[in-house]
Amino acid sequence: MKKTLLAVIISAATFGVYAEQHDHAHTNGVGTEGGKQATSATISTNKAFAQQLKFDDVRAFENNNRGLIVSFDKETGDIIRNSFSFIDLESAANAPDTVNPSLWRQAVLNQAAEGLYEVLPGKVYQVRGTDLSSMTFIRGKTGWIVYDVLLVKESAAQSLKFFLQNVPDGGDLPVVAMLYSHSHADHFGGARAVQEAFPDVKVYGSKNITKEIVDENILAGNAMSRRSSYQYGATLKRHDRGIVDAALAKGLATGEVTYVKPDYELNHEGKFETLTIDGVEMVFMDASGTEAPSEMVTYIPQWKALWAAEVTYQGMHNVYTLRGAKVRDSLKWSKTINKMINLWGGELETLFSAHSAPIWGNEEINDFLKLQRDAYGFTHNQTLRLANNGYVMQDLGDAIYTVMPDSIRDSWHTNGYHGTYSHNARAVYNMYLGYFDMNPANLNPLPIKPEAVKFVEYMGGSMTILKKAQVDFDKGEYRFVATALNKLVQAEPGNIKARQLLADCFEQMGYQSEGAGWRNVYLTGAQELRLGGVTPGAKSASADVISEMGIANVLNYMAVKVDSLKAQHTPFTLSLDVTDTNEKHFVEMSNGNLNSIQTDELKPADATLTIKYADIINMLMGQTSLKQMLSEGKATLKGDQSVLGKLAQSSVEFDSDFEIVPLNKEMVDAELY
């Protein structure tokens, strides 16, 4: 089993770092959980927010509890929900002061997922609570069909074992088929555990899944990894002043992201494809371009059951994800759900998916689907209505809430736990109109730091800013205080008082955030400001083969790593003969840019490199070197021997710990951590 470059990139880019939780010295008795207490302004804000919420609606909890066969026990081992034991399942309506009451209720709901559940008697089961997603088992004629296999190999192996040991009937049967609903890592990352347990398992995936896994994560992988550590709070403690939930479930399991390439990808010939897998007829509908660039939902006619993948869940999803990814099409998302309703809504009796508990009963399912449909349609249509009336991106984050219908506002499962309406509305604007609002002042502003210096000068200097900021902080006006102090800290990273107050602002804004990602971003920013550097965390260590990356993607990734100023003086051409995949590529460095194209025949070039694809991957992973392979005869280089040296000299390594908030080595309130 080989480790590939893509394996590391994908696991890091998709979910950032899976940090070990590090303790830091503390001296003030606050503890090592991190964070200060909520201010009176935050307490008042959260209490007022709670008054809008309908805590008497407990239907989601009832659905979650339905069908529980067995809860996890000590023999199950460590699972993700165990590390959130501070969450009292009886406290849904009684949030700590440091947590938005709506987010706390979602955290309690997700904490309630605790074992093996029966979705359809004798037919469909789920293991919920071991990872960010749920593992679903469907009874076939000769064995089990497993749908979505969690984020990491370890949690998948644990869930598989738990299921087979506790399912009422069929625990001695094999897993004969494995299906991936879409191209996000928490739905395929545990694949190797299933294949190792059942080597003959046949694997199915959504349309173009392997291609989309590569496309979404590789080229911006380093930046996405760093940003993901903020979105998922990789370095925060699990505590009411840190992480309380991951919106879709409790959190991310730690371990190895793996991938087994599908034997068959669905829906290549159109939007629908019907297959009978181990005696179970399944209708697959392509949903690509909604929640993921490759996605499918599945209808099982004989059971009147619909697998919704991640097109729906108990909350509003991301049209734009904070870690960074291509903006999703909220109109297509809404219309896809509408198609599900119109195709199958008349007879549906069971709706289940990769996150959250199932829903039963035709009327309840249709009510749920229609609200989900309309939440994405509302976000799309009202954003553009406002934009067509002159609202710009910065204004839309607040404006979208002023036009929200009561039915969407009052429903729990359309709340913005994962994707807030604020950043989703701005994503719709960006998708159609881009980042520029057409105000000439915003067309070509100064870079961030020079702009900050001028702002500080115009505002009367640091002492004046700090004095005014403290007054507004005491009033609870955190949003603008953070904006002003960010300018000051950008201009003066060593200004301890400014960093301290900015961190305090971020923290209180995090405590008030309904969105789990927003909370984590604010609290991680506060943590890094206080510690004076990037907070420690173990980088992802995906260890599986995703060699389906392909040479074309390797070359595209290498092109991103080229420093154009270094490369402009060293042009070259290279023909690449990849013998084990029978591919030929022509590579050209010109004008500081690396170009590549696949060809039918080797083209004349300055040099020709003959090599195996597997050896290229080993070389990129640092397991061997080209010099070693040439000396061992595993590769040959004919022509200009300096070509590869020119490429190496112009290539750079990315800084995986680049600055997000302004940093300075001196610590501020570090004893909190």
Over the stretch 132-162, which tens digit does the pLDDT of each residue have?
Answer: 999 999 999 999 999 999 999 999 999 999 9
Q: What are phi and psi of 142, to 5 degrees?
A: -115, -10
Residue 44 counted as domain residue: no
User: What local confidence, expressed as pLDDT, does residue 211 receive?
Assistant: 85
The mean per-residue pLDDT over the stretch 392-399 comes to 96
Helix (H, G, I), strand (E, B) or coil at 515: coil
How far apart, in whole angstroms, are the C-alpha atoms of residue 190 and residue 194? Answer: 7
User: What local confidence, expressed as pLDDT, does residue 535 receive?
Assistant: 64
Distance of CA 264 to the CA centre of its chain: 25
- Please write the tens of the pLDDT for every residue from 4-39: 444 444 444 444 433 333 333 333 333 456 799 999
How far apart, in whole angstroms, are the C-alpha atoms of residue 663 and residue 533? Answer: 6
User: What local confidence, expressed as pLDDT, does residue 384 receive?
Assistant: 97
How far apart, in whole angstroms, are the C-alpha atoms of residue 235 and residue 668? Answer: 17
How far apart, in whole angstroms, are the C-alpha atoms of residue 611 and residue 633? Answer: 10
DSSP β-bridge partners for residue 299: 283, 306
The mean per-residue pLDDT over the stretch 209-237 comes to 86
Residue 157 counted as domain residue: no
Helix axis angle for 421-433 and 393-402, nearest 10°, is 130
The mean per-residue pLDDT over the stretch 434-451 comes to 94
How far apart, in whole angstroms, are the C-alpha atoms of residue 318 and residue 314? Answer: 13
Indicate whether 497 pLDDT > 60.
yes
- 202-205: strand order across its sheet: 68-71, 115-120, 124-128, 135-139, 144-147, 175-180, 202-205, 264-265
Domain, as residue range, for 608: 562-650
How far apart, in whole angstroms, are the C-alpha atoms of residue 204 and residue 188? Answer: 11
CB within 8 A of 466, min separation 6: which ones? 488, 497, 498, 501
How many other C-beta atoms lie within 10 A of the C-beta of residue 553? 17
Q: What are phi and psi of 112, to 5 degrees?
A: -70, -15
Indicate whether 327 pLDDT > 50.
yes
The mean per-residue pLDDT over the stretch 454-462 comes to 97
Indicate whether 546 pLDDT > 90.
no
Residue 571 counted as domain residue: yes
Strands 572-578 and 607-611: parallel
User: What local confidence, expressed as pLDDT, does residue 24 receive?
Assistant: 32
Residue with more model confidence, 255 or 54: 54
Longest dimension (CA), the chain: 76
Q: Which of 631, 582, 572 is nearest to 602 (CA)?
A: 582
Angle at 182 between CA 180 and CA 188, to 5 degrees: 50
Domain total of the chain: 1
Residue 400 counted as domain residue: no
The mean per-residue pLDDT over the stretch 319-337 comes to 94
DSSP β-bridge partners for residue 572: 589
**Single pTM value for the model:** 0.92
Indicate whether 401 pLDDT > 50.
yes
DSSP β-bridge partners for residue 298: 284, 307
The alpha helices in 434-512, defined as continuous H runs, are: 448-458, 462-474, 478-491, 496-512
User: What local confidence, expressed as pLDDT, does residue 536 receive?
Assistant: 57
For the chain, the first-to-last Cα distance in angstroms comes to 39
Angle at 144 between CA 142 and CA 145, to 5 degrees: 120
Per cent of the chain over pLDDT 90 is 78
Indicate whether 224 pLDDT > 90.
no
CB within 8 A of 266, min separation 6: which ones? 204, 205, 206, 207, 273, 275, 284, 286, 296
Q: Which of 217, 375, 315, 312 is nearest to 517 (CA)?
A: 315
How far apart, in whole angstroms, are the C-alpha atoms of residue 607 and residue 576? Answer: 9
Average pLDDT, the chain: 91
The mean per-residue pLDDT over the stretch 468-494 comes to 97
How far apart, in whole angstroms, are the C-alpha atoms of residue 523 and residue 648? Answer: 39
Q: What are phi and psi of 510, to 5 degrees?
A: -65, -40
Q: Which of 295, 324, 341 is nearest to 222 (CA)?
A: 324
- Please write the tens of the pLDDT for every residue from 95-127: 999 999 999 999 999 999 999 999 999 999 999
Strands 272-277 and 296-300: unpaired
Residue 465: what residue type? I
Distance of CA 399 to the CA centre of its chain: 26
Q: What is the CATH number of the domain that holds 636?
A: 3.30.1050.10
How far apart, in whole angstroms, are the C-alpha atoms of residue 412 and residue 109? Answer: 11
Between the alpha carbon of residue 377 and those of residues 62, 222, 293, 383, 445, the distances in Å are 28, 33, 19, 10, 34
Give yes or no for a contact between 593 and 612, defined as CB atoms under 8 angstroms apart: no
Residue 627 counted as domain residue: yes
How far apart, in whole angstroms, are the C-alpha atoms of residue 379 and residue 333? Answer: 11
Give yes or no for a contact between 416 and 316, defined as CB atoms under 8 angstroms apart: yes
Query: pLDDT band for position 547 (50/70/90)?
Result: low
- Please write the tens of the pLDDT for every residue from 572-600: 999 999 999 999 999 999 999 999 999 99
Residue 572 counted as domain residue: yes
- 607-611: strand order across its sheet: 593-599, 583-590, 572-578, 607-611, 636-639
Indicate whether 218 pLDDT > 90.
no
Query: pLDDT band for position 213 (50/70/90)?
Result: confident
The mean per-residue pLDDT over the stretch 287-304 comes to 96
Q: What are phi and psi of 136, to 5 degrees?
A: -110, 135
Give yes or no for a contact between 222 and 507, defined as CB atoms under 8 angstroms apart: no
Residue 373 counted as domain residue: no
Range list of β-strands (E), 524-646: 572-578, 583-590, 593-599, 607-611, 636-639
How far apart, in whole angstroms, are the C-alpha atoms of residue 632 and residue 627? Answer: 9
CA atoms within 13 Å, Cβ hemisphere of 235: 25
Residue 467 counted as domain residue: no
Q: What is the torsional sign of CA 403, 335, 310, 544?
A: negative
Give yes or no for a contact between 311 and 281, defined as CB atoms under 8 angstroms apart: no
Indicate whether 621 pLDDT > 80.
no
User: What local confidence, expressed as pLDDT, does residue 6 receive?
Assistant: 46
- Please write the tens of the pLDDT for every residue from 338-383: 999 999 999 999 999 999 999 999 999 999 999 999 999 999 999 9
- The length of the chain in residues reads 673
**Cα dihedral value 150, 201, 72, 189, nearest 10:** -20
Distance of CA 156 to the CA centre of its chain: 18
